[in-house]
Structure 1
Amino acid sequence: MTIDNAVQLEGRINAHRRLLVELVSVVAAIPEARAALVSMARDSETVSDHEEDPGIEPDAAFAAQQIADDEIRAILKAAMARLETRI
């Protein structure tokens, strides 16, 4: 049985994400760390409209950065939710 490379990659990424969510939830139990993580969830590394002109059609770098920001927030949200279930 051969597993497609995309499926294998997706499985590995999902495993890394699950592990990262668990680790972040453990770290978030430390009050100082939790404050830093909440702050990180509020921040955005995506360039705002007024900071840089992406042109008529933003290039892939802008889209990739937005996807990364969204994923960071999703991981932090999942980690905080997991922490809340333990408190």
Structure 2
Amino acid sequence: MTIGNSIHLEGRINAHRRLLVELLSVVATVPEARAALIAMARDNETVNDHEEDPGIEPDAAFAAQQIADDELRGILRAAMARLETKL
């Protein structure tokens, strides 16, 4: 991937993230939806150490899953923070 393509892709991902944060902050105005989003931010989809042995060095699947969990929590935290500024 060239640098130009990387910048283009990063810009698009950032736009999607901003849109998702705004949409989730609107959805979170519904109490039931807010509770579900808070639960989603609290829950962890990454396997804990005692649940599965990744071996001596965890493979890329574990790393990718952790990155996805971190990004999901970051988006949900940003949406809840945006909601708080609107209330």
Identity %: 81
Number of matched pairs: 85
Cα distance in 2 for residues equivalent to 1:66 and 1:53: 15
- Would you identify which runs of 4 or more consecutive aligned residues in structure 1 move more than 3 Å? none
Cα distance in 1 for residues equivalent to 2:42 and 2:82: 18
**Gaps (5+ residues) in structure 1?**
none
**Gaps (5+ residues) in structure 2?**
none
Deviation of the 1:39 alpha carbon: 0.3
Structure 2 equivalent of residue 58 of structure 1 = 58
Q: CA RMSD in A?
A: 0.8
Map residues 2-21 of structure 1 onto 2, 5 A cutoff.
4-21=4-21
Cα distance in 1 for residues equivalent to 2:61 and 2:53: 13
Cα distance in 2 for residues equivalent to 1:61 and 1:26: 32
So what's the TM-score if we normalise by structure 1?
Answer: 0.96
So what's the TM-score if we normalise by structure 2?
Answer: 0.96
Cα distance in 2 for residues equivalent to 1:48 and 1:57: 14
